[in-house]
Amino acid sequence: MNDLKIALAFIILTSISANAHDVGLRRLDNVSTNGLSMFVLYPTTSKPKSVDFGPFTLNVAIGGAMEDGRFPFAVLSHGSGSNGLSYKDIALSLVHHGFIVAMPLHPHNNYLDNSLEGQVENYVNRPKDISASIDKLFATPTFSAHIDPQKIAVLGHSIGGYTALVVSGAIAKTKALIDLCKSLPTLADPYCAPVLSGELTQNITVNSKDTRIRAQVLMAPVGALFLSKHAFDNVDIPTLLLVAEKDQELTAAYNAQVIKNGLEKMGQFTDKVIPNAGHYSFLTAYPDSLKATLGVIAQDPQGFDRVEFQKSIGDQIATYLIQVLSPHT
């Protein structure tokens, strides 16, 4: 981005922040035939109140009335074994800035049921979940009249980053992943475990581009399925790549660097390294009482303040998306 565009984006964001939108929340079930459900957060005219969702408390209006107007729409793809509310701070920030946000719960790859983790079916199904989520919002009158169809974005963390890339046009191949893991048997990246155990053997190509998507944000994404030469040839939308400097889950050379090498030459690409961040720093901060139970997903590198980071990362993402989704003059 040049300095003028950054300044304009800042002015837009400052204007929106001065009149932050209240947040409505609805749950939609039967989004697709595989049992997909999702939370939808959106600008509301109803009065919000504190509501507990497991360990989290959100200030939202359950079933609140939609604000008038059309809004940009973002779909957030969670990491393996996780859920959308683990990214609540990012989602809430986007709604405060005037976005509708859908948070699908990927079937059989979430905190309730993670039976498809690392399996071929998961790599195939996840991108379909994103398109199904978009279909569902456009088929739901409450939301369809309020979505700007020219301003749809996808966000993804970890395997959610893989998911975002595929629906944005990247071509994934399990052969690339299998070959990598077999050639480097000491590679500790979690996606290699099913390969080395013999659970992941099928060579498939996943090509599920959704042309409705106009921008993407990748947070510590999985990139090892995009090692083939032409994996990124069909990605033609703006991309923001957020890299955790101290990511100990994913080896940069086979993930973030692969994505950067493939997309930098395509243009419309921005990357940012988050100093001292770990792989799970993009998740919301968990209560102290749960940190021992949750283990690594609640931990950050020494000196990293996840609470403070979560106060700003959503605004940074909103700034980026407002800029790239706005009409260029």
The whole-number pLDDT of residue 328 equals 54
Rounded CA separation 147/70 (Å): 5
Where residue 69 falls (left for φ over 0; alpha for ψ -120 to 50; beta otherwise) is left
* Domain at 3-325: CATH architecture: 3-Layer(aba) Sandwich (3.40)
Flag residues of the chain having pLDDT under 70.
Answer: 1-19, 328-329
- Is 298:284 a contact under the CB 8 Å cutoff? no
131-183 pLDDT, tens digit each: 999 999 999 999 999 999 999 999 999 999 999 999 999 999 999 999 999 99
The pair of three-digit structure tokens given for residue 79, joined into one six-digit string: 């990491």
The whole-number pLDDT of residue 236 equals 96
The whole-number pLDDT of residue 19 equals 67
* Sequence spans of domains, the chain: 3-325
Work out the angle at residue 263's Cα, subtended by the Cα atoms of residues 283 and 151, and round it to the nearest 5 degrees.
Answer: 65
The whole-number pLDDT of residue 272 equals 97
316-327 pLDDT, tens digit each: 999 999 999 987
Rounded CA separation 310/298 (Å): 13
Rounded CA separation 305/13 (Å): 24
- Residue in the structure block whose two tokens are 């940069």: 252
